[in-house]
Structure 1
Amino acid sequence: MTITVKDVAKKAGVATSTVSRVINDHSSISDATKKKVYKVMEEMGYVPNIAARNLGKRSSGAVGVILPPLDSRERMGNPFYLEIIESINDEARKHSMTTAIATAQSFETLLENVQLMHRQKQVDGFILLYSDKEDPVIDYLFENQVPFSLIGQPYTNEDKVIYVDNDNQLLGKHATDYLIENGHRNILFITNTTHENVYYERYFGYQKAMMLANLPVLPSVDMEKPEDYVAFEQLLKETKATAAVVIDDIFAMRMIQLAQMYGYRVPDDFSVISFNNSIYATLVHPYLTSIDIDIAELGRMGMQKLIESLQEKEATGVRMVIPHKLIKRETVLSLK
């Protein structure tokens, strides 16, 4: 026996049109009514025809999740993307939506993929998982008025873009403050990217903490080329650095290995603090001291804000700031 909308409406004691509005998550229906109708749907085993619903709404019922160019093994293996995609998927399911991934090894190919998804109406909107000053994708979305939300902080049009982010400048400051509180004075900031907004914000936070403590602000250490790894030992000797703030966990693990290769023990000779609190933080000893950025909440709110935009609940740009938390482990030594 096939259960219909009329059957659900009759048992719930509401009009058929009310059930249809509940299925479409219409704002005119109260939460109490939605809860009651959903309960009846579950009891009766009624499954909405999503395809028909979306056809009527001229909607695909899907959102595109755009990853940055995966042009290195470190980026391909970064657990941040898997964790945030899982969170986005969970939130999408709550709204009877699906997700489609857009990825490539270059910005040029990535833009082509996004353009194709948009023009063929495969998705209703997009979630960008990065903010890069060299990115043509965000320009395309903005110029063509394609609904999207951004995980990160945009370089331009901050007042017109919906974005969800941590306060990365504050993250950089808190990480550096923690090293200073533990007696470190010569502190490096190490990164493997210099064109993503997260780098600028976290490095600004490092600079602020060092200046407020009247300590020497060192240029950021860019480790994007093979020769940078060769020069790292000499850099440690010249700066007499006892600690470093590293751009993220996966790269922090690489820096710990590099320091140990040159005879520096972590944390006895060289302390390290990082960001993301990913699975890598507790894979090997010493366990990594890291700042938890609540990846799940970033993904959930990114999806939620996009859905609000699609439902025209957000007319202008909005910024959501997700709190962070320091997770103290074994890679920071107190010099006091």
Structure 2
Amino acid sequence: MSITVKDVAKKAGVATSTVSRVINDHPSISEETKRKVRKVMEELGYVPNVAARNLGKQQASSIGVILPPLNSKERLGNPFYLETIEAINEEASLFQMSVAVASAPNFETLLKNVKRMHLQKQIDGFILTYSDNHDPVIDYLYANKIAFTLIGQPYMHEEKIVFVDNDNQLLGKQATEFLIQRGHQRILFATNTTRENLYFERYFGYQKALMMAGLTTYPAVKFEEPTDFIDFEEILHKIKPTALVVIDDLFAMRIMQLATMYGYRVPEDLSVISFNNSIFSTLTHPYITSIDVDVARLGKLATQKLMDQINHQLTDGIKVIVPHKLIIRETVIENEETN
């Protein structure tokens, strides 16, 4: 026996027309009523006739999630993107929306994929999971007035783009301050990306914390070419840092392996702090001290703001900041040199 709109309406104690409006996410229905009806739909296992719904609304009932070019093992293995997709998918299901993923090894192919999804009317709107300063995809979305939400901070048109982000400059500042408070003075910033906005913001925060403490700031240690990994040993020998701020947990694991190979112990010789608080932070000992960016909330809010655009409830740019939290583990200790 199949579940009907009438069954849902009866159990929820509302009119069948109300259930239909909830299915179509009509703005005339309160959020409280929508939540109640959607909960009943889930309990009864009711699945709306998506084809009929789409015909009436002229919508695809699908969200496109755009990943950055997956051109390295770090990018392919970074759990941030999988966790983000999971959060988006979970929130999208509450709106009876499906999720499609756009990915490619380079920007040229990625743009082609996004164009095809849009022109074939497969997608009602997009969520960009990154912010790159040479990204043709965001230029295409913006120029064609396509509904999209950015997870990250845009490089241009900040006042017109809907974006959800952490305060990455504050993250970089607080991570560095945590090291300074524990007596560290020679602190380096290590990264394997220099195009994404989160790198600039976190590095600015690192610089700000050191400048405010009257300590030396150093150029970011960038790992983009194979020789950079070899040069890292010379940098460690020359500067003799006691601590590192690393762009994310996955790369922090790589840096810790390198440091060990070069004869440095973590945390005895080098303290390490990173960002994201992903599964990699507790895969091997020592567990990594990391700042949790609340990926689930980033994905959830990005989806909600995209739906607001799709349903014409949001027409102007808006900035939503998600709080973060420091998770103290084993890779940061007091620097005995200054004690």
Q: Same fold (TM over 0.5)?
A: yes
Matches within 5 A, 1:82-121: 82-121=82-121
C-alpha separation between the residues in 2 aligned to 1:279 and 1:221?
A: 24
- The one-letter code matched in structure 2 to 1:144 is N
- Asked if 1:270 is matched to 2:270, the reply is yes
Matches within 5 A, 1:1-336: 3-5=3-5, 15-31=15-31, 33-34=33-34, 37-38=37-38, 46-335=46-335, 336=339
CA drift of 1:48 comes to 1.9
Could you tell me the percent identity over the aligned residues? 65
Q: 1:213-261: per-residue Cα shift (whole Å, max 9, x none)?
A: 0000111111111111111111112112111100111111010000110
Q: Which moved more, 1:218-227 or 1:145-154?
A: 218-227
C-alpha separation between the residues in 2 aligned to 1:280 and 1:13?
A: 47
Distance 1:67 1:13, change over 3 A: closer
Gaps of 5+ in 1: none
- The one-letter code matched in structure 1 to 2:198 is V
Partner-residue secondary structure (3-state), 1:101: strand
Distance 1:176 1:14, change over 3 A: closer
Partner-residue secondary structure (3-state), 2:25: coil
Q: How many residues in Structure 1 have an aligned counterpart in Structure 2?
A: 336
Distance 1:273 1:96, change over 3 A: same
Gaps of 5+ in 2: none
C-alpha separation between the residues in 2 aligned to 1:16 and 1:222?
A: 59
Q: 1:259-308: per-residue Cα shift (whole Å, max 9, x none)?
A: 11010011111111100001000010111011000010000001111001
CA drift of 1:36 comes to 5.8
CA drift of 1:25 comes to 2.0
Distance 1:176 1:44, change over 3 A: closer
C-alpha separation between the residues in 1 aligned to 2:286 and 2:206?
A: 23
C-alpha separation between the residues in 1 aligned to 2:243 and 2:42?
A: 56
Distance 1:148 1:36, change over 3 A: closer
Partner-residue secondary structure (3-state), 1:231: helix
C-alpha separation between the residues in 1 aligned to 2:266 and 2:280?
A: 16
Q: Which moved more, 1:18-27 or 1:274-283?
A: 18-27
Distance 1:27 1:329, change over 3 A: same
Q: Which moved more, 1:14-23 or 1:232-241?
A: 14-23
- The one-letter code matched in structure 2 to 1:221 is V
Distance 1:18 1:247, change over 3 A: same
Q: What value does the CA root-mean-square deviation take over the aligned residues? A: 1.8
Partner-residue secondary structure (3-state), 2:115: helix
CA drift of 1:26 comes to 1.3
C-alpha separation between the residues in 2 aligned to 1:151 and 1:42?
A: 28
